[in-house]
A and B are shown apart, each in its own frame.
With several copies, the nearest count.
Chain A
Amino acid sequence: MERWEVLWQSTALSAFTWGQAAMMIVGAVLLYLAIVKKFEPLLLLPIGFGAVLANIPLAGFTEPGGMLYYIYAVGIDTGVFPLLIFMGVGAMTDFGPLLANPRTLLLGAAAQFGIFATLFGAIALNGLPGFAFSLKDAAAISIIGGADGPTAIFLASKLSPDLLGAIAVAAYSYMALVPIIQPPIMKALTTKAERAVKMEQLRQVGRREKVLFPLAVLLLTLLFLPTATPLVGMFCLGNLMREAGVVDRLSKTAQNELINITTIFLGLAVGSKLSASEFLSVQTLGILGLGAVAFAVGTASGVLMAKLMARFSKSPINPLIGAAGVSAVPMAARVVNKVGLEANQSNFLLMHAMGPNVAGVLGSAVAAGILLALVG
């Protein structure tokens, strides 16, 4: 009899809290979004699964001795996992379109206004009851506007680890929603004639420029913004390995096995931060709302910057490509291409949008460095 009692006490049924049950549903929703809706499945599937595991009563996944505890301690607390992901992303990134059209860096800069406006917005939200974001919290939330997963996770783990789960979920969800969020804003801010503008073909960029570019980025970053060097440095290392042409086996491993292994662990560890006490609060609603604002503002500022540049440029600029400045590589560039095609069936903007798109990755890594310097 007593043994049955022990078994019953060891079932979760006897120990479930409402919060844990609710968080399991959150995890299930993330799995649904990943598998059925194909929302950034590489991340949201492990995050959702991690959220389920982390909220199982009596299983102890997130306590010392539990697997998620170790993975979080090793990879997120130290910042190593997002940096490895960023190295892999660097190894997958082709800066050719940006080098062919350096002006598009300005679009990647303008779109970061989504980040800084959201920081202001988060502090402003404190005027409402139930919100009490510190400056660090606000900075961590605002990075959602960077539309870049590893950057958001890295910054949140440094500034506001308690909000990490919600921030990562918001960042990846909105990145998946880019095809829904961006087009209305892009269309509202442009005329059909503007959207139909064709751009000149990009010049071919040689290997030497591509090899020197990540080194130039690193040099500027280390001189002017050393707090951004972990992110930018690892990104540039990946890109250098890609372009150097002498370490292809390292570059391929960074793009494939290493980033895959890290992604599984990173996702689980992020999911393990989705606890009821942190996630089931009005703050999370605030984070989701602010994230949407961040994406919208970033998109709008990119487009408006592109319109401004078009006015002063000799060669034609289609303002749509400004929207790609938020990064969300390569989704945002594809959206630009699609909206451009709608306006003009022979207008292929994909390569033109890749420039601001990768510029947006650098821009948000730089913005993260600034936030670390100012509020870290």
Chain B
Amino acid sequence: MQEQLFEAFSIMVTGMVTVFVFLVLLMAAMLVLKRFAAEPFDAESNAMKAAATPTPIQSADDTQRLAAITAAVHAYRHDHESAE
């Protein structure tokens, strides 16, 4: 029991140290990436990309937007016709 507890404790220490070392290394890699791979931000391309990969949630939004547009178009049609 005592021995197993010690083993568990040692795994705890080893594990936490390793996790930290690993993620610090990854942090370093990110800083390298930032320095060498960062690009001037291009708002348009990102916006387009977001539009091009609809998640299920977004596609539900699309349906709602579609409904909104339909309603809008109908309203316009109506207005337009009555205007004539």
Q: Chain A interface (Cβ within 8 Å of chain B)?
A: 3-4, 7, 92, 98-99, 102-103, 105-106, 108-109, 112-113, 115-117, 119-120, 122-124, 126-127, 135, 138-139, 203-209, 212-213, 216-217, 219-220, 224-225, 242, 245, 248-249, 251-252, 255-256, 359, 362-363, 366-367, 370-371, 374-375
Taken residue by residue from 42 to 84, chain B's Cβ proximity to chain A (1 for < 8 Å, 0 otherwise) reads as 1101100100110110000000000000000000000000000
Q: Which of A109, A208, A251, A362 contacts B20 (CB under 8 A)?
A: A109
Q: Which of B1-54 contact A (CB under 8 A)?
A: 1, 4-5, 7-12, 14-16, 18-20, 22-27, 29-31, 33-34, 37-43, 45-46, 49, 52-53
A216 engages B14 (CB within 8 Å): no
B39 engages A109 (CB within 8 Å): no
How far is the CB of B24 from the nearest CB of chain A, in Å? 8
How far is the CB of A95 from the nearest CB of chain B, in Å? 9
A3 engages B52 (CB within 8 Å): no
Which residue of chain A is the closest to B45 with respect to CB atoms? A207
* Complex CA–CA separation, A204 to B73 (angstroms): 30
A116 engages B23 (CB within 8 Å): no
Which residue of chain B is the closest to A245 with respect to CB atoms? B49
**A105-B23, A242-B53 as given contacts; A208 in contact with B38, CB under 8 Å:** yes
B4 engages A135 (CB within 8 Å): yes
Q: Which of A117, A220, A370 contacts B25 (CB under 8 A)?
A: A220
Q: Which of A116, A139, A224, A248 contacts B16 (CB under 8 A)?
A: A116
How far is the CB of B56 from the nearest CB of chain A, in Å? 5
**A3-B10, A7-B14, A113-B16 as given contacts; A252 in contact with B53, CB under 8 Å:** yes
B39 engages A208 (CB within 8 Å): yes
Residues in B with CB closer than 8 Å to A248 are 52-53
A-B pairs with the 6 shortest C-beta distances?
Answer: A206-B39, A204-B41, A123-B8, A116-B12, A102-B30, A109-B23
* Complex CA–CA separation, A367 to B33 (angstroms): 24
Residues in B with CB closer than 8 Å to A366 are 18-19, 22-23
Residues in A with CB closer than 8 Å to B16 are 112-113, 116
Residues in A with CB closer than 8 Å to B24 are 105-106, 109
A224 engages B14 (CB within 8 Å): no
Residues in B with CB closer than 8 Å to A115 are 15
Q: Which of A4, A117, A216, A370 contacts B30 (CB under 8 A)?
A: A216
